[in-house]
Amino acid sequence: MRLLLPGFLLLVPLMGQTPAELPAEELARAPSAWRIATLLDEATAQGWGSITPLLRTGAQQAYEANSGYAGQWYYLYRWARLLGTPSQKATTDWIQAIDAARVAHPNMATSYALRPGSLAGGLSRELLLALLGNAALSEEFFQLLSPVDQPQEVLAILQKIHQADPARFSAYGSLALAVAVVHDVPVSPYWPHGQVAAEVLRRQPPPPEELFAYLTRLDRSGLTLHRLARLPASELKFLVDIVAPFSELDWARQNASPGLDDLGRAYDLIRYRQDRFAANQYNWPGPVYTLPVILQQGGICVDQAYFASTTGKAKGVPTIMFRGAGLDGRHAWFGYLGANQQWQLDCGRYAEQKYVTGLAFDPQTWGNINDHELLFIAERFRELPTYKLSVLHAAFAVDYLGEGKVEAAWKAARESVNRDRRNVNGWQILLAAQGARSPDLRAREALLREAVLAFQKYPDLEVAFSTALIDILRQRGESSLADFEEQRLGKKYQSVRQDLSTRQAAATLKRSMANDDMATQIKVFNRMLETAGRGAGHDFYDVVVSPFLLHLAGQGQVPAALRSLERVRRTLRVEPRSQLDSELTALAGRLRSGKFENKAPGE
């Protein structure tokens, strides 16, 4: 028995039992199919919580040993943690994330049932093996997943797609992920734009599994301009945000001629309706809003952008619609993933109007895509191995920080930004780890200055990190340095990015509104008007003028608000009979009538 017992103990893992610790030699390799199946059996029998600590420890050991397979063990741990999450907790956490991000919209349910069990409930063993056994798909899933994705529905959609055709799911995994994270909640009522009534354009996309089947059928038939199996989910999500019926998509492929090299011409296929613009008729006037009708009747810029972007999607091309406030009007244009997988983001944009950076919906969150995200999309660097490695280091940093392992977290976060300095999350985690490591504000200031340098190409990020730096300088009593930094930002972007100088002016004014008396607030507003508002247009009106004048009126200062409005007319670029002229006139009417409730710009 003494001779047989050690050999018997060595065979225990081979008999299907999970060890107390994963052997170092196993962590030095990729997880085997046998190990994954064994873990799945254990989780099915005793719950995912029974294997989560084992995988967490194993992933950290592989990471600390510089194993080239640490990422694969880490994503196994992430699957265990996600699948073992109680459905009730996942739903309440998701609702809190939606509220915090302010991306709830009227098409979403007002209440959600709290289901019993964990997120793994209802998922087939075949799907779980397909997910856990595909390292590349696991990495893509967890790098794509957002706190505002509804995890229960994301997994349910993946289950439906996989159940319908497992082989096609395997061949088009990234497309399945894109469909799942976009269609986990209803589409926004403002998508693709808010200038067509709900009864005219029904925002009801096809069932996710039918959309997946339709797009893969087009791809296999050679009817798409991109090979969909070669695109990442982060780009495919701009393809699957479809609300037009399949019949319209089929019509577009047959009747709209532009191809991948000249898809921008689809915008100009729609005759511009000057009569609607002259009559301030910005909403679609007819009872039918389909691609053939838009082509026949013509439209304004939002209709041109919708037609072109939907035509691109019909041909298997990811597209993005933009809306922006320029000097003398609001405008819409579109972008698409063109030849050589290069994004063209200014199709239909009026260069001579100097429109500010446009806003676009992120169909995964139904919030706006910010400036740097658009640049990141265009640069496509997130598909690089170095960036993916940076993300992995940041993930371990978060895990270490959650365990209170501050030094390990700081080291991992430092490695994250060293691998790729464009990893915004890496910098945020590094700052958090530094704060946990030491209260020294000078060390935090040094990191912020590093981040400002790292994001000089991305103005909104430079402004964000510079603003944090300014706050630190003020906390340290360095008011002169803080003022200098604030002025530097304003001057840097006043001529090339008026939208950012406008937001800097808005931040200064907001601080004055919170801390100063009324006379000082008006002086600050007048100074912002002279420095950042001269020759400006809609963006300055939306962000600075309208909020402040309504604030004045709400404080009983209607005469002062009207006087400031006249000063605005003299300072901003207000062409007679332009949209900005109309909105200033409407604002004056609201001030005189006593209706001070704040409305969205353009309403």
The first and second tokens of residue 372, run together, are 């740097």
pLDDT, tens digit, 9 for 90 and up, residues 578-601: 778 888 888 888 888 876 654 433
Average pLDDT, the chain: 89
Coil, strand or helix: which one is 78?
helix
Say yes or no to pLDDT of 105 above 70: yes
Q: Which residues contact 229 (CB under 8 A, 6 or more apart)?
A: 171, 172, 174, 175, 219
pLDDT at residue 9, rounded to an integer:
36
The average pLDDT across 485-493 equals 74
N-terminal to C-terminal alpha carbon distance within the chain: 85
Q: Please tell me the distance from the alpha carbon of residue 414 to that of residue 528, in angstroms, as a whole number.
A: 39
4: pLDDT strictly greater than 60: no
334-365 pLDDT tens trace: 999 998 889 998 888 764 444 446 788 999 99
**pLDDT given for residue 498 in this prediction:** 64
Any idea where the domains of the chain sit in the sequence?
512-603
Cα 233 to the center of its chain, rounded Å: 13
**pLDDT for 444 beyond 50:** yes
307 vs 586, more confident: 307
What are the pLDDT digits (tens) for 531-590?
778 777 777 888 899 999 999 998 999 999 999 999 988 888 777 777 788 888 888 888
Higher pLDDT, 227 or 325: 227
Query: What global pTM score does this model have?
Result: 0.81
- Mean pLDDT on 460-468: 88
Tokens of 580: 């900005």
Tokens found for residue 130: 């397909």
Q: What is the pLDDT of residue 111?
A: 87
Retrieve residue 584's tokens: 């200033």
- Tell the residue number behind the tokens 């052997």, with chain if given: 23
Listing DSSP states for 436-487 in one string gives HH---HHHHHHHHHHHHHHTTTSHHHHHHHHHHHHHHHHHTT-HHHHHHHHH
Enumerate residues 6+ apart whose C-beta is below 8 A from 329.
353, 538, 578, 579, 580
- Is-contact 396 63, C-beta < 8 A? yes
For the residues 250-255, what does the mean pLDDT come to? 96
Task: Give residue 11's pLDDT.
Answer: 38
Q: What is the pLDDT of residue 355?
A: 45
Tell me the two tokens of residue 42.
């254990």
For the stretch 198-218, pLDDT in tens is 999 989 899 999 999 999 999
User: Reduced to 3 DSSP states, what percent helix, strand and coil does the chain have, rounded to the nearest 5?
Assistant: 60, 5, 35
**Of 80-89, 113-122, 549-558, which has the strongest mean pLDDT?**
80-89
| pLDDT number for residue 18 | 58
- pLDDT value of position 373: 86
Question: What is the spatial distance between Cα 212 and Cα 221, in angstroms, rounded to a whole number?
Answer: 14
Crossing angle of helices 52-64 and 70-83, in 10° steps, is: 160
| Structural contact between residues 215 and 228, judged by C-beta atoms closer than 8 angstroms | yes
Whole-angstrom CA distances from 527 to 504, 531, 571, 581 are 13, 6, 12, 22
Q: Can you give the pLDDT at residue 309?
A: 97
Confidence class of residue 14 from pLDDT cuts 50, 70 and 90?
very low
Distance separating alpha carbons of residues 228 and 217, to the nearest angstrom? 11
pLDDT at residue 502 tops 80: no
Is the pLDDT at 94 greater than 90? The verdict is yes
- Residue 325: what pLDDT? 57
Question: Residue 201 class from Cβ within 10 Å (0-12 exposed, 13-18 middle, 19+ buried)?
Answer: buried
Which pLDDT score, from 0 to 100, does residue 197 have?
A: 92
* 146 pLDDT higher than 70: yes
Between 257 and 434, where is the model more confident? 434
For 18, residues 6+ apart whose C-beta sits below 8 A from its C-beta are 38, 39, 42, 50, 51, 54
Q: What is the mean pLDDT of residues 460-482?
A: 88
Read out DSSP for 528-593?
Answer: HHHHT-TT--HHHIIIIIHHHHHHHHHTT-HHHHHHHHHHHHHHS---TTSHHHHHHHHHHHHHHH
What is the mean pLDDT of the segment spanning 506-519? 87
Q: What is the CA radius of gyration of the chain?
A: 27
Full 3-state SS string of 438-449: CCCHHHHHHHHH
Of 414 and 351, the structure prediction assigns the larger pLDDT to: 414
Please determine, for residue 247, whether its predicted confidence score (pLDDT) is greater than 60. yes
Nearest to 34 by CA among 45, 50, 18: 18
Residues 231-257 have a mean pLDDT of 95
Question: Taking a C-beta distance cutoff of 8 angstroms, is the pair 415, 408 a contact?
Answer: no
